[in-house]
Structure 1
Amino acid sequence: MIRKIIHIDEEKCNGCGLCARACHESAIGIIDGKAKLLREDYCDGLGDCLPACPTNAISFVEKEAAAYDEAAVLENKKKLEAHSQLQQWPVQIKLVPINAPYFDDADLLIAADCTAYAYANFHQDFIKGKITLIGCPKLDSVDYSEKLTEIIRQNNIKSVTIVRMEVPCCGGIQNAAINAMKASGKFLPWQVYTISTDGRILA
């Protein structure tokens, strides 16, 4: 059938992944650093991905394409729920670059690395839809605040979510994130979640 569907100009695409996050049907993925339409029948033709693209690499075209298959989309979403929601690599605070395309318009997750082991549904409840940075101030023996300050200052971060364990040493990552937001000179919405050692959200 002839219908409206998205077209991605790979030459314009910078691989930031914002379109993939905006697509509620999971029709877009990042492959070899470029956005790709994974399946035509996942694209509903509504174009939530278009305004998310910072380089105007996505447009509508009228072409012969498979019809939108809502049942297939729902089935795929069920499968994705059991898969990784990680959107970028690396994730360690000490390894990530200060500037990267995926930081643009990002909701930032700053988490103590133990939290993903303690809280069973970490990917779905915390990583999904966010750019993830992890670290352990006790094991790394560093103050992350300086690097986090520059990441927040030099990129268009929309919000910050901090996830820590209830143990005292995790206060270091919370303090680093809060100090970084203050030092950046930006006012951002932020929230702290504390995970218990038996895997519950305490606050």
Structure 2
Amino acid sequence: MKRKIVTINEEKCNGCGLCVSACHEGALQLVEGKAKLVSDVYCDGLGDCLPECPTDAITLVEREAEPFDEVAVKERIEERKQAHPHGAASACDRPATAPASPSGCPGMKTRLFQRTSEPVAPSAGSDAPVQSGVESQLRQWPCQLKLVSPRATFFDNCHLLIAADCTAFAYAGIHHEFMKNKITLIGCPKLDDIDYAEKLTEILATHELQSLTVLRMEVPCCGGIVNAVKKALAASGKIIPWQIVIIGTDGRIVQGV
């Protein structure tokens, strides 16, 4: 039969694996560093993977293909669950203890870090003072909004911080005053060629968040992050406590908190 089905341009594919995570039917997987369609029967032709591809390597084409088989999809999903009981089946959503896949992008592998509130002790024999409160409070990887998978499990029941790139350099206390005990995503609406609202909507719709904080600079272009969050909240239909904090270019908090 003739129907729409995904086609992948291998020359454009960078092996990031985002499409693999986005495909709920398991029709895609990474093979030798490139995304591949496993079988026509697993692809429903709806193209959920298309917006996740950063290189526009995926298109929908109408061609002769086997019919979409829901039964086969359910069997495949069950097989993957049994093979990966801890939910580490995709190239972009593995626990931190898993080795980096030679076919995936190591920089996009999902990780969750355990942080302590204990001061960092000096090395043996060092005269340096104990460094109190200097440990990084970044709890997960990736932290770039452009790279993170919307279905990463670290979003479950989290307090989410969405911060403009420049806030980390302008505000010295960002780690302990804003990032601590939160999942942190960073981005710049002026520099990133991505629709933040679409990805944020999927994050909000897929996970139950406890709160959301937007940390932006006072410059006008940072308003794009706030607008994206507002659109995502409206589109997801979720009611979540959220706030906006504005940092001045001189490093002061000028609004919020």
TM-score normalised per structure 1: 0.63
Q: For 2:238, what is the secondary structure of its paired residue?
A: coil
Q: For 1:177, what is the secondary structure of its paired residue?
A: helix
CA positional deviation for 1:36 = 10
Q: For 1:138, what is the secondary structure of its paired residue?
A: coil
Q: Note closer, same or farther for the CA distance 1:138–1:119 as it changes in structure 2 (3 Å cut).
A: same
Distance 1:79 1:137 in 2: 35
Q: Which residue of 1 aligns with 2:134?
A: 82
Distance 2:151 2:113 in 1: 23
CA positional deviation for 1:101 = 1.5
User: Which 4+ residue blocks in structure 1 deviate beyond 3 angstroms?
Assistant: 12-15, 33-38, 73-80
CA positional deviation for 1:151 = 0.4
Q: Which residue of 1 aligns with 2:22?
A: none
1:129-176 CA deviation, whole Å, 9 max, x = no partner? 100111101011332001100001101111100000000000001110
Greater fraction of residues in helix: 1
Contact 1:159 1:189 in 2 (8 A): yes
Match of 1:95 among 137, 147, 151: 147
Q: Which residue of 1 aligns with 2:199?
A: 147
Distance 2:132 2:140 in 1: 16
Distance 1:35 1:192 in 2: 25
Match of 1:32 among 71, 83, 97: 97
Distance 1:81 1:112 in 2: 23
Amino acid at match of 1:104: D
Contact 1:98 1:150 in 2 (8 A): yes
Match of 2:249 among 197, 200, 203: 197
Task: Number of aligned residue pairs: give it.
Answer: 146
Cα root mean square deviation, aligned: 3.1
Matched, 1:162 2:242: no
Alignment of 1:1-203 (within 5 A): 32=97, 75=119, 79=131, 81-203=133-255
Distance 1:35 1:189 in 2: 24
Distance 2:114 2:199 in 1: 35
> Percent same amino acid at aligned positions?
52
Q: Note closer, same or farther for the CA distance 1:79–1:169 as it changes in structure 2 (3 Å cut).
A: same
Contact 1:162 1:193 in 2 (8 A): yes
1:171-197 CA deviation, whole Å, 9 max, x = no partner? 001110121111110100000000000
Amino acid at match of 1:32: T
CA positional deviation for 1:125 = 0.8
TM-score normalised per structure 2: 0.51
CA positional deviation for 1:121 = 0.8
Amino acid at match of 1:84: S
Q: For 2:146, what is the secondary structure of its paired residue?
A: coil
Contact 1:91 1:132 in 2 (8 A): yes
